[in-house]
Amino acid sequence: MDYFLGIDPARKGFHAWALMDGKKAVYECDKSNTNEGLLKQLEEVRKNFEGDGNRIWVGIDDGHEYLTELLYREGFDRIYQLNSAKLSAYKRINDLSGGKWDALDASVAGEYLVENRRKLKQYRPPTELERQARILAEGMEGIRECRIQAWQRFWAVTDYIAPEMSRLKLNFDANYFTDAMDLLGRCRNMGAKAMLSFCKKRKSGAKPKELEKLLACMKKLEKHGNMELIKLQARNIRGLNEEDKAWEKKARSLLATWEKGMPLFTINRFGPKTGVRFLAYIGEDWREVKVEKLSAYAGAAPVLKGSGTPDRKTARRLRQKGKKPKQERRQHRLACNKSLKTALCLFTLYSMESHPWARESYDSMRARGQKHWEALRNLSIKWLRIMVHIMQNNLVYDADLHSANQRIRKTQPAA
pLDDT of residue 415: 41
Q: How confident is the model at residue 306 (pLDDT cuts 50, 70, 90)?
A: low
As a whole number of angstroms, the distance between CA 14 and CA 9 comes to 6
Q: Are the beta carbons of 75 and 125 closer than 8 angstroms?
A: no
pLDDT in tens, 289-298: 999 989 988 9
As a whole number of angstroms, the distance between CA 398 and CA 390 comes to 10
**Among candidate residues 189, 172, 347, 198, the one with its CA nearest the CA of residue 272:** 347
State the pTM of this model.
0.74
As a whole number of angstroms, the distance between CA 11 and CA 278 comes to 26
Q: Worst-scoring range by mean pLDDT, 48-52, 147-151, 376-380?
A: 48-52
Q: What percent of the chain has pLDDT over 90?
A: 26
pLDDT of residue 96: 53
Cβ neighbours around 20 below 10 Å, total: 23
As a whole number of angstroms, the distance between CA 151 and CA 149 comes to 5
What is the average per-residue pLDDT within 216-228?
A: 70
Count Cβ atoms within 10 A of the Cβ of residue 6 and give its class: 0-12 exposed, 13-18 middle, 19 or more buried.
Answer: buried
pLDDT of residue 414: 44
As a whole number of angstroms, the distance between CA 61 and CA 16 comes to 11
As a whole number of angstroms, the distance between CA 260 and CA 96 comes to 48
Contacts 24+ apart (CB under 8 A), 74-81: 74/39, 74/42, 74/43, 75/46, 76/42, 76/46, 78/122, 79/122, 79/123, 80/113, 80/117, 80/120, 80/121, 80/122, 80/123, 81/123
**Among candidate residues 68, 175, 173, 168, the one with its CA nearest the CA of residue 125:** 68
DSSP string for 384-403: HHHHHHHHHHT----HHHHH
As a whole number of angstroms, the distance between CA 274 and CA 380 comes to 13
2-119, superfamily in CATH?
ATPase, nucleotide binding domain (3.30.420.40)
Strand duo 303-305 + 329-331: pairing: antiparallel
* Amino acid letter for position 25: A
